[in-house]
Amino acid sequence: MQEASFTNLFKTIMWIIAFYYIFKFLARIFLPVLVKKAVEKAGENFQRQQQYGQDNSWQQTRNNNNDEIIINTANAKKPRETKKVGDYVDYEEID
């Protein structure tokens, strides 16, 4: 069984500080490279999605390029009917 001593505590604190600075140094070197790769990959995914969307819309316009006009009246706004609750009664004031 080992006893706690001042030298072992000092060595432990020094190891913790050393690992902290080593990690900090390696993060300065490798973190920008990792972030750059992540941004490039996200950009490629965005480009791929945009290209797919443009290709898909181009095919739809190419397929609908005949001289036929289609009007969708299902979404046309219709005037709303007012609810008829009852007859309107005009009251006169009696003196």
As to burial, measured by CB atoms within 10 angstroms (0-12 exposed, 13-18 middle, 19+ buried), residue 80 is: exposed
39 vs 80, residue with greater confidence? 39
Give the model confidence (pLDDT) of 9-55 as tens digits: 999 999 999 999 999 999 999 999 999 999 999 999 999 888 877 77
Q: What is the mean pLDDT of the chain?
A: 80
Q: What are phi and psi of 81, to 5 degrees?
A: -80, 140
Q: How confident is the model at residue 93 (pLDDT cuts 50, 70, 90)?
A: confident
Distance of alpha carbon 59 from alpha carbon 50, whole angstroms = 14
Residues in the chain: 95
What pLDDT is attached to residue 91?
A: 78
